[in-house]
Amino acid sequence: MDIFIQESIRLKKREQNDVARQFFGAGYGGFGLSKKYRCELCGEEIEAPSPRLAALYHRHKHPEFEEAFRKAGLLELWEAEG
């Protein structure tokens, strides 16, 4: 894969993590590479490697996640992964 494409994907994922932290914070505990993230909207804990993936796993419960990512212009990467 071209280095510029890899860097673009890495930056998009970083942006997605920044948006997801609004809903999940920095995370805590967990095992291995995963941390536990607590949803700020409902309090449910999700174990995931990043806040971006926690939001991806949990987004079906809260349309606010998709709306926040859509506004940030990041939904297309989510849809490619999901």
Pairing relationship of beta strands 45-48 and 35-38 according to DSSP bridges: antiparallel
pTM above 0.85, yes or no: no
What mean pLDDT is predicted for residues 70-80?
67
Comparing CA positions, the residue from 29, 34, 37 lying closest to residue 65 is 37
What mean pLDDT is predicted for residues 16-28?
82
- The residue ranking higher by pLDDT, 76 or 2, is 2
Sign of CA dihedral 81, 23, 37, 5: positive
Q: Of all helices (H) and strands (E), which one includes residue 57?
A: helix 51-58
pLDDT, tens only, 42-58: 999 999 888 888 888 88
What mean pLDDT is predicted for residues 17-46?
84
46 forms beta bridges with 37
Count of CA atoms in the C-beta half-sphere (13 A) of 30: 18
Give me the pLDDT at residue 9, please.
82
